[in-house]
Amino acid sequence: KEDFIPQKNNEVKMYVCGPTVYDLSHIGHARSAVAFDVIYRYLKYRGYKVTYVRNYTDVDDKIIKKAVKEGAAAHEIAERYIKAFDEDMDALDVSLPDFRPKVTETMPEIIRFVQSLIDKGIAYVVDGDVYYSVRKFDEYGRLSGKKIEELEAGARVEIDERKNDPLDFALWKASKEGEPWWNSPWGKGRPGWHIECSAMSQKFLGGTLDIHGGGKDLIFPHHENEIAQSEGATGRPFVRYWLHNGFVNINKEKMSKSLGNILSIRDALNNYPSEAIRLFLLSSHYRSPIDYSPDVLSDAEASLDRFYATLQRMEKEWPEIIKKKADKKEKERLLQPVMDAMDDDFNTALAIGHIFNEVHRVNRLMDEAGESGNSSGLIPFLPAVKEAFKEIGSVLGVFNKTTEMYFNEKKKHLSISEDEIKKSIEERNKARRTKEWARADQIRRDLEEKGIILEDRPDGTIWKVKR
């Protein structure tokens, strides 16, 4: 670990590789987006002025292939899935970056960038294609730890005889029939994948970036090639701090199309509240792999239920106390361990652990106050807890709803309608009146299996969503 020291006072230039928009985004995309969203939020919370750029790759082999398959234009495919990605991000409460450039809107900058590499003698043109000369960049492999000698064997698998060296990679691709193209000094064509991010980051952030992020799968070759071409063009360090998020596994298996276990963000949102998905994604350190399964999502939802139930209890049992002004020192005491965790390489897992330690403590103190009839110990504590939770929630992007909103939204995910619940309660009440106790108990169990808890009160039976 290193101390984070931005190159200019409290200003932070941050670039994160965004999606290639040819299909619905999956839970792996959500992991990256949520992780860097929290990093963005936390840096701003700590007083940094952050300029955050996340791109769309809207021209690519996969987009073209999808367009051919559907008989559509490539730009139509790209725009469709940009819209879908934006909707998914909004559902997950992911903040909008300051800039969201598209490759197709950055073509003049990409062409100028490629030309500068040709002018410097570290890129060359072959039949309308432009390649980067990897061996002319002495530090190639420093990010991934790969050595040129090790890469040579793999590069020989797909030899292109036109290249000066099997390791050289494409900066510009000559157009093929039916593909989108742009005019360039080397003929009609489109950019290679790696050059896009170098050009876009330079356009919006310039010079050296403070933070560059993305998934671990991008370290090689994408980020390695970004370093080579960016430092080759500018002669300056490209990035001060590289941050890479870990993979999402599905039921302990790597998520892949060949295994048929790709989980779209939309499918996840159909089954779980957005805050539960977000809490799950933040419950492991962003660099670590994380395993998605129905059980862990249910656990995340149960944790949210516990949090909001605690807030609801504070509001109902101690309404006058929580309206009081928070004690500043008590609030700082609550926030400090969370901030220490976040200062330690954005350790959201540890931060969330501290939050739930306080949830446990709040409930214990409320129990003690209720039993003793003495609420004086709650007076400096509860208002500070409520404010601290709100402040932390604004950074993590969870715990931000009112209790009423949260529990009402949970009803939407039930497998049974409110009318059906009411009919079941009426049927149970009838069974109880006629002393059919086994039938009444069975109705209660059936509702509980569907996430409904019944509570018998002197004024009648009420129902709640299971917590």
Tens digit of pLDDT for each residue in 28-81? 999 999 999 999 999 999 999 999 999 999 999 999 999 999 999 999 999 999
- The pLDDT value given to residue 157: 46
pLDDT-flagged residues of the chain (< 70): 153-159, 413, 457-459, 466-467
Long-range contacts of 95-99 (CB under 8 A, 24+ apart): 95/37, 95/40, 95/41, 95/397, 97/16, 97/40, 97/52, 97/53, 97/54, 98/50, 98/51, 98/52, 98/53, 99/51, 99/52, 99/53, 99/54, 99/204
- The pLDDT value given to residue 38: 98
- The torsion angles phi and psi of 303, rounded to 5 degrees, stand at -65, -40
Tens digit of pLDDT for each residue in 406-437? 888 877 767 788 889 889 999 999 999 999 99
Report how far residue 81's alpha carbon sits from residue 326's, in angstroms, rounded to the nearest whole number. Answer: 45
Predicted structure pTM score: 0.90
Take residue 305 and report the two structure tokens written for it.
């239920």
- The pLDDT value given to residue 261: 85
